[in-house]
Amino acid sequence: MSSTSFWDRVAEIFHLKDVPFMGVPDYMFSIEYWLGAIATSALAWQALTGLVLLLYYQPSNAYDSTMAIIHNVPFGSIILSSHLYGAYVMILAVYVHGLEVFFRGAYKRPRGAQWVLGVLLFAMTLGAAFVGYSLTGDVLSADAVGVGKGILTALGLSQVIPVFFGNGTQLDLFTRFLGWHIILASALILFFFIHFYLAEQNGFMPDPRETNYRAPALLSKNDARLKPWWPRNFVYMVSIVLFTWGIILVIPSILAIPSILGRIPILFSPYPGPSPTSPQASSVPAYPPWFFLFMYKMADMPFGLSTDILMGIFIPLIVLLIVPLLDRSDLLHPLDRPWITALFITGLTWVIELSIWSAIQPGVPVELTWFALTIVPPVVIAFGGVYAVSRVWVRVKAKPSGNGKGAGFKLSKNTALSLGYVTSLLAIIAIAVSFTLNPISDGPYVGVMWGTALISFAASLLAYFYVEYIQ
């Protein structure tokens, strides 16, 4: 049976040709257009592994049940560590996706609501990550609980502490955390579907050169370059899902190998830290996850905790939410909107600076002089630099080729097919090897084999995609 008849048969069974998803031009089969798909793939992994972990997690004994998942449950170490790194991959993908959307001007009409939903999704992702990270019951979880309570108290909201942290018992604390984690995860999935719906209705944003860097940047649904969604987009999307899942499995599994695990900083360890009641707990700095480092450093600033929180959390969130209102011009190129581009670069620089500072000096109070030396230079450099470059910027009016076949790197059909066969064979070998390993004691090695298999299958699918639709 030919590949075409196979796909036609699948489409007939599941009525996939009736699915109203929008296709894309060839040149959009590039990673920058699919960062949201990577984040979505990670979200799907989080949902699947989270449901499995829910079967074994016990709020009445949070730390011990977490460690039991690692040491006693078949494949438990793989599921737990990949659930953690799935969150890392999702957050990183959302960060990069947000940057790419901003610099392309994809928050402008008619996509303003998409941007707002994306910012809310990011905030909920961080909230779900905070609660999930605290569910382990380790020393870092205890530190996070203390910081969370301190923030609410500083904001004058101590009366709502029982709502989020329970009545003071460990059982109530982790029962609340588990409930909030599920609530936030469910809200994430709901908001994602709304975000996806708007994205489908508005369509992909074309290369800005096609509209001379002006909004609205839309692809007509009658554009001849838009091929049917099935099976072309489906094959590419599945390859992205498999590749993302493979990365989520491989990285923490490698870090969990015993000879490597002891040398991994606790910020990136795939396993929980020591119990808060153990002697080792006193030697562990009060680190948050890496994506909260900048917020923790803001709490060390010399203005009082409530002001620090306002400056480090609420003001940036509000600014992000109202970006479509702050910049209502139809100009798309970042140098055509220099002041908001400079503002965004300044904020990004602050996040990087404060994160590094927090990793080096967690919990160390900051003097006003050091605060000024950290905050002021990025403002001057970003606004001065962007303004200077924007004065000499000449808009490029040349349109892209639009067919995606003029790229510099090109494989012959036979070479692509050979690569597909080799990677498929590698995937089969990796899976076969994984069956010879112990699912408990050899968990990290099993994770490496599974991750390698998924990445190899993704490569095989991309080779097939290249031969069938691009080459």
Tell me: the pLDDT tens digits for 107-125?
Answer: 999 999 999 999 999 999 9
Neighbour-count burial of 82, counting CB atoms closer than 10 A to its CB (0-12 exposed, 13-18 middle, 19+ buried): buried
Whether pLDDT at 415 is above 60: yes
HSE, CB side, 13 Å, CA atoms: give it for residue 470. Answer: 27
pLDDT at site 406: 43
Q: Report the distance separating Cα 465 and Cα 471, nearest Å.
A: 9
Does residue 231 or residue 404 have the better pLDDT? 231
CA geometry: angle 402, 408, 414, nearest 5 deg: 100
Neighbour-count burial of 33, counting CB atoms closer than 10 A to its CB (0-12 exposed, 13-18 middle, 19+ buried): middle
How far, CA to CA in Å, does 393 sit from each of 109, 335, 388?
A: 24, 7, 9
Whether pLDDT at 405 is above 60: no
- Burial of 375-385, coded b for 16+ CB within 10 Å and e otherwise, reads beebeeebbee
Asked if residue 338 belongs to a domain, the reply is yes
Residue 84: which of 469, 462, 447 has the closest Cα? Answer: 447
Please list the alpha-helical segments (H only) found in 135-231: 139-154, 161-165, 170-202
Mean pLDDT of 96-115: 94
pLDDT band at 221 (very low <50, low <70, confident <90, very high): confident
Asked if residue 231 belongs to a domain, the reply is no
Beta-carbon contacts of 309 under 8 Å, excluding residues fewer than 6 positions away, are 151, 154, 155, 298, 299
Asked if residue 371 belongs to a domain, the reply is yes
Number of domains in the chain: 1
What sign does the dihedral 66-71-72-74 (CA atoms) show? positive
Whether pLDDT at 280 is above 90: no
pLDDT at site 395: 65
Q: Report the distance separating Cα 405 and Cα 28, nearest Å.
A: 11
Asked if residue 49 belongs to a domain, the reply is no
Asked if residue 200 belongs to a domain, the reply is no
Whether pLDDT at 96 is above 90: yes
Asked if residue 354 belongs to a domain, the reply is yes
Residues 57, 76 contacting (CB under 8 angstroms): no
How far, CA to CA in Å, does 146 sit from each of 59, 142, 288, 364?
A: 18, 6, 12, 16
Asked if residue 156 belongs to a domain, the reply is no
pLDDT band at 411 (very low <50, low <70, confident <90, very high): confident
Residues 432, 406 contacting (CB under 8 angstroms): no
Mean pLDDT of 188-207: 91
Please list the alpha-helical segments (H only) found in 361-467: 368-392, 413-434, 443-465
Asked if residue 285 belongs to a domain, the reply is no
pLDDT band at 208 (very low <50, low <70, confident <90, very high): confident
Whether pLDDT at 407 is above 50: no
Helix (H, G, I), strand (E, B) or coil at 55: coil
pLDDT at site 343: 95
pLDDT at site 40: 96
Whether pLDDT at 451 is above 60: yes
pLDDT band at 3 (very low <50, low <70, confident <90, very high): low
Residues 96, 463 contacting (CB under 8 angstroms): no
Mean pLDDT of 286-305: 87
pLDDT at site 4: 57
Does residue 284 or residue 382 have the better pLDDT? 382
- Burial of 56-75, coded b for 16+ CB within 10 Å and e otherwise, reads ebebeebbebbbebbeebeb
Whether pLDDT at 404 is above 50: no
Give the pLDDT confidence of 26-62 residue by residue, as tens digits. Answer: 888 888 889 999 999 999 999 999 999 999 999 999 9
* Of 16-20, 175-179, 227-231, 296-300, highest mean pLDDT: 175-179
CA geometry: angle 223, 226, 229, nearest 5 deg: 145
Q: Report the distance separating Cα 195 and Cα 192, nearest Å.
A: 5
Token pair of 133, please?
Answer: 């990270």
Give the pLDDT confidence of 304-360 residue by residue, as tens digits. Answer: 888 888 888 899 999 999 999 999 999 999 999 999 999 999 999 999 999 999 999
Q: Which domain holds residue 355?
A: 334-392
Residues 413, 467 contacting (CB under 8 angstroms): yes
Does residue 451 or residue 29 have the better pLDDT? 451
pLDDT band at 1 (very low <50, low <70, confident <90, very high): very low
pLDDT at site 194: 96
pLDDT band at 400 (very low <50, low <70, confident <90, very high): low
DSSP state of 403: S
